Structure 1
């Protein structure tokens, strides 16, 4: 089965509270719950063709909401009242926000894991290795707290968990003086300053993996993958214990935040240990080769794949398609992705995630609404067998517009604020999960995603090869929209699996406004040889609506 991931942000997913008060509290705006991710909800996700569900933001994080024995955080350490799900306060616990009975939050989470597995969905959760909240303290595993055996008089020491600032405080955070800091610590984004800016990850502190990042990117002196626990830095030991804890609970894999900021030697070591516990443990990395903070001089995406990861974010493909839609590049430019390196088949592709803008945003992706999602999703998931991810709400055209609080009106669904996703809530329909609140167009869009994601599990799309057709149709007048040159808005490719003798022709119209009429695709001479069967030299596709996709199964 092809790996297809549904990113489910627990805070948003089942929340049907329509208040959406700007910078509102959990009492005002509501919050999704573990128990509300029901068997019915998970069965609908499975019916859409997904193999994995990424339960996003479940670890206990810094928050303005207090519970018995869990005090609210200092407002200086918060981005939004809900707080950043990547400012982890306890790696061994889950957020009480998501529990009906906060004291039973781990039991409620374990029950959700069981429901996911009963629905034949593997479960991924976040692993945030580069940084923790400034208020980090584990109540579940206090013996594994960070920093308690550190030497804070030194900026760097091999066995320290943190990097410590030189000189004396106080720590000036964007909102004021943070007296609780004691010896100042470097922020999660490597800012070694007593006065981090609003653009810094000031609410977090960077973890130390036995390498002084200020000395460069050469980490080869770190231990090898087979090293014993007593041969590795203390942070490695604690991180391995964290993964083991969640694996024991039933978690099947981990989405590793900003993985390129952590030494690849650690990844080789920790993924090996995780797979000794569970051979199928799945590791996906958020990583960007262009980030100066990466800890290798090589291409970090390739390095992570070589050192234990199953898949790594394909930010380049996302940016390629987005620039084509927003800046008027020719659709034929998308051929760049076909000729990419061999790693492309292991790259995680996506059209949305919690960090990126919504496809239906009024001020991104051409601002023409949710229709563009079909064209973008069809291209990114269709041109190769790589893993693909859909973000909750994408399938119903969630807009992401409006000021929610800390995140302002940025075209994203805020991960920092309590609030509802209106279109997703309309599908949830007060927990019935039948789309009863959606309009006809939104229902049709979701049905398209159901059909498309299931198509992606056909052999031709799971293991088949890809053959681009744009270059063979650049002189074809029936491969053009009115007033355009061929290949400007249309993109065509074949997928073929010899084992099943299955082949599909896919044609996408990326134009935001104009339908394509009477489209015909010419097959070059090499197609029959590639397919292993004689096929016609041309295929009549017909009309393709703007932002639409047509799929033709070929008879071989």
Structure 2
């Protein structure tokens, strides 16, 4: 699902900027990462990674367009991903979701195209949380075992494994075939005669049947192809509330009509039928949160999702990405995440949350490790990349988030966002280079890269459901730039263009530097505003800041302009030279990305300046030698 909350980032940033009284903003960053190193997440859409079929017929079948398998993630493939500078791999689309393909001989019921988006189905309409997508297995009967083997191979490659949990909604036809003993399906014990009961898993429209939405804009399931179940009907009586909260028995085409909303014990009028956390609990650790819930009665849906998470933790999964976490009460997250942490204290818990006013609640009360930094950093950098915004808007974001910056995961692409190289975004993958340097080095937060981003994939394939610019998550499709690197499953870039190989080399250099840098887990100071006020030729298309620790001192500078080279004497404020213990004299700095640029910082009369000549879309990570 493409779920965006658009905020007036530039306006917010300017207000924050004008309110800032200090020329240099320095903040001590808390450390919450394994081994005090930066983390890098590689998000891969699992069914697309190993697909070497290049047909790309709109609405094509699996046989026509191909599909990748768990087994395509070979030791070689995983080694190459690891060597890119990756610490965690997020296998997107693993839990068994709706898919238009006949697997009835394996006991799997057919799914109705009227309530499935695309032919391969949305990974966010999960049908069975205790098994995996049958498309991804070579032997469907052993699909779970094939995924367990992938977990083992990933760990062997020193990669932590993340999968999705979608707590807000499930597929309309949820049915688990492999529930552990004593586990019941969602809705199995619901009282369907009432709209709401605290222990119902769903909300209902009593005595009313569900109706398929009216399809708009010429849309037809499967592109209009004939299918025995594609008849404009879906048997659901009584109707359930739709995943995005629509209470209508006939949701809109723009609603999440393929899903139903899960009930967490909040009545239709907003009353919470569960205990709330005591005052001050935002300062307590996960153990205290776990103990708080031990003797409490909680809604049935809470227990079901906790058991699902612990099931996958027991299989070796190292963490979860939670879809639309803010649509679920924060108290549930306290209950869920504390239970997970009791089993694996290093579990990586990432949430999709778009409301900045709720960030601290979901981190401190909900015990999330990381949240998407979407509506502030991502949206602002995107505007700069598109030429609509100024780099002046970036430093205030770090100031605003300074108490939680280590919890804000940074990205430039994911499955919901447009590809950088798409005309709808930047139209040029190289415009992502300065943005990526800033995103990966400005804080201690983890960095995320979406598969194909490192090759400049443009998402232009017309797969079926939805429109180009985002690589389809709904249909069987190939990813051309990735396929050239996969090179008939040699995973060696044998068919990559020079431009693709060069871009991947950039990502590899950058990401490997970040996961090994001591300074990037240390302190941050903005020097952009200082240079805007004091340095000739320095401008709003350039961004600079410093990162430092006791052992490493860095000056990071990026040029977002795709046309102009800039030359100037970059200045360090006096308080930085004091903290770095720089006396009068000369100090050599060398770029760590390509080791081709070096310059001398001259400290004289309490002023420090270093000559910078920076080309279009170029960045330097200058390290004190």
User: TM (normalized to structure 2)?
Assistant: 0.82
Unaligned segments of structure 1, at least 5 residues: 291-298, 481-485
Match of 2:33 in 1: none
SS in 2 for 1:520: strand
Candidates 131, 152, 171, aligned match of 1:133:
171
Confirm or deny: 8 A CA contact 1:429 1:435 kept in the other structure.
yes
Match of 1:526 in 2: 575
Deviates more, 1:336-345 or 1:172-181: 172-181
Match of 1:264 in 2: 330
In 1: Cα distance, 2:611 partner to 2:495 partner: 38
SS in 1 for 2:127: strand
Match of 2:373 in 1: 314
Q: Does 1:87 align with 2:106?
A: no
SS in 1 for 2:205: coil
Match of 1:496 in 2: 548
Match of 2:270 in 1: 216
In 1: Cα distance, 2:521 partner to 2:275 partner: 39
In 1: Cα distance, 2:533 partner to 2:567 partner: 16
Confirm or deny: 8 A CA contact 1:460 1:503 kept in the other structure.
no
Match of 1:483 in 2: none
* 1:322-360 CA distance string (max 9 Å, x none): 122225322222112231231122101100000000011
Instruction: Give the superposition deviation at 1:222.
Output: 5.0
In 2: Cα distance, 1:434 partner to 1:418 partner: 24
Deviates more, 1:182-191 or 1:317-326: 317-326
Distance change >3 Å, CA 428–CA 179, structure 1 → 2: closer
Instruction: Give the superposition deviation at 1:462.
Output: 3.6
SS in 2 for 1:35: helix
In 1: Cα distance, 2:338 partner to 2:568 partner: 51
Match of 1:296 in 2: none
Match of 1:386 in 2: 445
Distance change >3 Å, CA 494–CA 222, structure 1 → 2: closer
SS in 2 for 1:466: strand
Instruction: Give the superposition deviation at 1:170.
Output: 4.4
Deviates more, 1:161-170 or 1:528-537: 528-537
In 1: Cα distance, 2:569 partner to 2:483 partner: 41
Instruction: Give the superposition deviation at 1:419.
Output: 0.3
Q: Does 1:458 align with 2:516?
A: yes
Match of 2:597 in 1: none
* 1:196-228 CA distance string (max 9 Å, x none): 11110000000111112x323767745875324
Q: Does 1:287 align with 2:337?
A: no
In 2: Cα distance, 1:59 partner to 1:327 partner: 39
Confirm or deny: 8 A CA contact 2:114 2:234 kept in the other structure.
no
In 1: Cα distance, 2:260 partner to 2:418 partner: 26
In 1: Cα distance, 2:202 partner to 2:327 partner: 14
In 1: Cα distance, 2:500 partner to 2:569 partner: 30
SS in 1 for 2:448: strand
Deviates more, 1:465-474 or 1:376-385: 465-474
In 1: Cα distance, 2:421 partner to 2:519 partner: 26
Confirm or deny: 8 A CA contact 1:13 1:424 kept in the other structure.
yes
In 2: Cα distance, 1:169 partner to 1:101 partner: 38
Match of 1:162 in 2: 202
Match of 2:559 in 1: 509
In 1: Cα distance, 2:141 partner to 2:247 partner: 37
Match of 1:185 in 2: 240
Candidates 422, 429, 432, aligned match of 2:480:
422
> When the two structures are aligned, how many residues end up with a matched partner?
533
Q: How does 1:37-186 map to 2 (within 5 A)?
A: 37-67=73-103, 68=105, 69-141=107-179, 143-174=183-214, 177-186=232-241
Confirm or deny: 8 A CA contact 2:413 2:419 kept in the other structure.
yes
User: TM (normalized to structure 1)?
Assistant: 0.92
Match of 2:610 in 1: 539
In 2: Cα distance, 1:103 partner to 1:174 partner: 37
Distance change >3 Å, CA 471–CA 63, structure 1 → 2: same
Instruction: Give the superposition deviation at 1:167.
Output: 4.4
Q: Does 1:240 align with 2:292?
A: no
Distance change >3 Å, CA 381–CA 47, structure 1 → 2: same
Match of 1:293 in 2: none
Match of 2:46 in 1: 10
Match of 2:259 in 1: 204
In 2: Cα distance, 1:327 partner to 1:388 partner: 23
Instruction: Give the superposition deviation at 1:475.
Output: 4.8
Confirm or deny: 8 A CA contact 2:461 2:471 kept in the other structure.
no
* 1:53-97 CA distance string (max 9 Å, x none): 001111100010122222431111110000000000000000011
Unaligned segments of structure 2, at least 5 residues: 1-36, 216-230, 278-288, 588-601, 603-607
In 2: Cα distance, 1:477 partner to 1:163 partner: 61
In 1: Cα distance, 2:518 partner to 2:530 partner: 22
Confirm or deny: 8 A CA contact 1:470 1:487 kept in the other structure.
no
Match of 1:31 in 2: 67
SS in 2 for 1:457: helix
SS in 1 for 2:241: coil
Match of 2:7 in 1: none
Confirm or deny: 8 A CA contact 2:62 2:476 kept in the other structure.
yes
* 1:349-381 CA distance string (max 9 Å, x none): 10000000001112212x2x1101111111111
In 2: Cα distance, 1:229 partner to 1:414 partner: 45
What is the root-mean-square deviation of aligned Cα atoms in Å? Answer: 1.8
In 2: Cα distance, 1:272 partner to 1:363 partner: 41
Confirm or deny: 8 A CA contact 1:168 1:183 kept in the other structure.
yes
Match of 1:553 in 2: 623
Deviates more, 1:344-353 or 1:83-92: 344-353
In 2: Cα distance, 1:390 partner to 1:217 partner: 39
